[in-house]
């Protein structure tokens, strides 16, 4: 595992964006029907959720407001009823006493559907998360990844710093 953080960028826009075929926007409650949970299962263990379980989880996270942003990339090139979630990524904003009440952004749970990889979606989602972190006033954005993903996150503007340590909670 490596801990990485992005180099400064001039990008400032936040919120949704569309390139004509893919819309990047915040997660919505209706995304349960668009394959969001099965997409997450391509990243790690993510058992299916019933509609009510998903709604409860969505409400818990939505209550965190802008401190917990989940972006999705939706296939916008097909009819509305057929649209699927192709990619996702999350930004958690940690609030601190340090640096006069500073904030640190944590990028988590980045995954692109296997059939949609190599189209730049992972790059777009992560860059958008970093922009949102900057707009929120974060003084840095960090993430953990496997060594194999160093090159990908370097493309996203991150540089390797430090070492991740993990402790068991069980």
Ligand X SMILES: CC(=O)SCCNC(=O)CCNC(=O)[C@H](O)C(C)(C)COP(=O)(O)OP(=O)(O)OC[C@H]1O[C@@H](n2cnc3c(N)ncnc32)[C@H](O)[C@@H]1OP(=O)(O)O
**Chain residues that interact with ligand X, rule: CB under 6 A:** 43, 107-112, 117-123, 143, 145, 148-149, 151-152, 155
Taking the CA atoms of the chain, what radius of gyration do you get in angstroms? 16
Q: H-helix or E-strand containing 128? A: helix 121-135
Tell the smallest beta-carbon distance from residue 121 to ligand X (Å).
Answer: 4
Distances (CA, A) of 39 to 19, 21, 163: 21, 19, 28
Tell the smallest beta-carbon distance from residue 97 to ligand X (Å).
Answer: 25
Closer of 27 and 112 to ligand X (Cβ):
112
Closer of 47 and 101 to ligand X (Cβ):
47
Closer of 93 and 121 to ligand X (Cβ):
121
Tell the smallest beta-carbon distance from residue 138 to ligand X (Å).
Answer: 15
d(CA 50, CA 37): 10
| SS3 (DSSP) at 148 | helix
Closer of 94 and 99 to ligand X (Cβ):
94
d(CA 50, CA 47): 10
Tell the smallest beta-carbon distance from residue 74 to ligand X (Å).
Answer: 14
């Amino acid at each position: 595992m490596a801990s990485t953080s992005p180099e400064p960028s001039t990008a400032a826009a936040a919120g949704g964006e569309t390139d004509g075929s893919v819309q990047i926007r915040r997660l919505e409650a209706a995304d349960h029907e668009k394959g969001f949970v099965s997409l997450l299962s391509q990243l790690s263990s993510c058992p299916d959720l019933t509609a009510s379980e998903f709604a409860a989880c969505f409400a818990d996270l939505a209550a965190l407001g802008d401190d917990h942003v989940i972006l999705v990339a939706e296939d916008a090139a097909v009819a509305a009823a057929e649209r699927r979630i192709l990619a996702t990524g999350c930004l958690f904003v940690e609030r601190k006493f340090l640096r006069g009440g500073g904030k640190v952004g944590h990028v988590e749970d980045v995954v692109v559907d296997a059939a949609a990889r190599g189209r730049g979606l992972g790059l777009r989602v992560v860059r958008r998360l970093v922009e949102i972190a900057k707009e929120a006033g974060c003084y840095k954005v960090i993430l953990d990844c496997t060594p194999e993903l160093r090159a990908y996150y370097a493309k996203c503007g991150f540089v390797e710093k430090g070492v991740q340590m993990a402790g068991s909670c069980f």
